Every structure is written in C-alpha cells, then in structure tokens.
C-alpha cells in the first residue's frame, strides 16, 4: 500500500521510531523520549505530509461527556454504560451516512478499531443486533464484522491517532470557549471529512428509544437464549411495520 509504505519511510528516518502516537509526540516521551523539540516537530510534520499527500477522507465523531451523563448514565445495561460503546457505533453510523450521501455506492467498507480490551470486546459483542438494526439503505456498504488491531503495528491506526488526538483537543478547547489555533489541526481540517457530533437532544432521544424498546445487548444474554431473543426481536419489528402500514 503506497500510504503504508510512505508512512513507514518517515518512521524509519533518523531518528527512527517503531510506531507513532500523538500523545507521546506531544509530551516527548515513549518513542519520542530522546528527541529534541525540533526533531519531534520534523517527524510529526513528515507524517502529516504523508496524510496530506494521500488526501484520505477523515472521520470524526464527538459525544460531549456531560451530555452523555445526563442522557445515558445509569439508564442502560451496566456493561455498556460508558461513552466508548455508543461512540463505537456512532463512528460506524457517521461513515455510512456519509457514504450514502457522497458515495462511492459500489464499495463495501470494513471498520478497524484500535484495541480497547474489555470495552472493545463488549462493543463487538453487540454487532449481531447492531447490524440487524442498520437501515436497509446503507447495509450494502457493510463489509465484514468490525475488528480490532494493535495501533503499534497497524499503520493506518497511527494516522487515525493523529487525527483523533487533535480532534479531542479541538472539542476540549471549544468547550472552554477557546479557539484552536493548532496548525496541524488546521491542515487536517482541509481534508474531506465525515463528521458527526451528538447533541444532548439526540442523546436523550436515543436513550429513550433504547429504554422503550427493552433492548438487551447480546453479551448480557445467555447463549441458549440468544436464538429466542432474535426471534422475539424479529416478531416485534414485523408488528411495528404492520402498525406503520395502518
């Protein structure tokens, strides 16, 4: 892959690093522990140039934590009561909506997340039901089941980390009424972007919908009950469809 090769070339340039993580670059620790500020800036700029030269469509999704606490905290299954679970599927939704609106319409997409241990495992365990509930208009875009990869060895996740770190910083600054003047963020924002931000109103609507449906996440259900639950969900969906037809 040209992008991966170009990124690896910059990693290998002296002083060499094994992988890139923006937090380590910012604090000059980890892979950047022996870098001068100038060396750090040159390495980051080189990697940024790889991104800008290949002009990928970026993806970002924001969930304000204070709004999440109001809408969801203590109202859903304990194992999923943290923003990561919701953000995991919102990222997928943001991209599918973008692809539906902008194309390409003849390609499937595979979602690859960085490893999050328990949180990632929980999110993946609900995929069967999440994929079932995805609107039929965007289902043709879905590739395989989302997977997790080690960001230290899977290079595209390192580029995503640069984007995610600056996006989090941007939203944090905005929350405090400050404008981000970071030149790296400005450069990344020049790229096409599938972007979504959940408002408090939308979070409340989702939370109320989950509560009203009695939705149970797959990993909370004993294996011997999963077939029965799927059947009940199918029957409930059919009944709702009949009600709408009336």
Segment 48-78, tens digit of pLDDT: 999 999 999 999 999 988 888 888 887 766 6
Give the domain-ending residue among 9, 31, 54: 54
Q: How far apart are the first and last CA of the chain?
A: 53
Statement to judge: residues 39 and 81 lie in one domain:
no
Statement to judge: residues 13 and 134 lie in one domain:
no
The more confident residue out of 8 and 225 is 8
Statement to judge: residues 15 and 85 lie in one domain:
no
pLDDT bin (cut points 50, 70, 90) of residue 116 is confident
Statement to judge: residues 79 and 29 lie in one domain:
no
**Sign of the torsion formed by the C-alpha atoms of 194, 200, 202 and 207:** positive
Please give the pLDDT value at position 86. 84
Statement to judge: residues 186 and 224 lie in one domain:
yes
pLDDT at 82 over 50: yes
pLDDT at 21 over 60: yes
Statement to judge: residues 96 and 1 lie in one domain:
no
Statement to judge: residues 91 and 160 lie in one domain:
yes
Give the domain-ending residue among 12, 28, 54: 54
* Owning domain of residue 210: 57-245
Please give the pLDDT value at position 3. 97
Statement to judge: residues 222 and 175 lie in one domain:
yes
Statement to judge: residues 104 and 61 lie in one domain:
yes
Number of domains within the chain: 2
């Amino acid at each position: 892959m040209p992008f991966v090769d170009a990124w690896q070339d910059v990693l290998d340039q002296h002083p060499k690093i094994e992988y890139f993580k923006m937090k380590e670059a910012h604090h000059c620790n980890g892979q950047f522990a022996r870098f001068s500020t100038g060396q750090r800036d040159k390495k980051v700029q080189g990697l940024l140039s790889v991104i800008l030269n290949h002009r990928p469509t970026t993806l970002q999704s924001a969930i304000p934590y204070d709004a999440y606490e109001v809408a969801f905290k203590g109202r859903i299954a304990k194992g999923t009561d943290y923003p990561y679970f919701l953000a995991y599927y919102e990222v997928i939704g943001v991209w599918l909506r973008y692809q539906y609106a902008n194309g390409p319409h003849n390609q499937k997409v595979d979602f690859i997340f960085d490893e999050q241990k328990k949180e990632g495992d929980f999110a993946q365990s609900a995929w069967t039901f999440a994929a079932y509930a995805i609107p039929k208009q965007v289902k043709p875009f879905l590739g395989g089941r989302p997977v997790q990869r080690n960001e230290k060895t899977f290079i595209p996740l390192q580029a995503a980390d640069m984007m995610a770190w600056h996006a989090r910083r941007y939203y944090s600054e905005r929350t405090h009424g400050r404008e981000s003047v970071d030149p790296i963020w400005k450069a990344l924002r020049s790229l096409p972007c599938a972007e979504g931000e959940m408002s408090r109103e939308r979070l409340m609507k989702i939370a109320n919908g989950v509560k009203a449906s009695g939705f149970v996440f797959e990993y909370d259900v004993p294996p011997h009950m999963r077939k029965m639950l799927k059947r009940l969900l199918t029957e409930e969906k059919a009944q709702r469809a009949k009600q709408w037809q009336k």
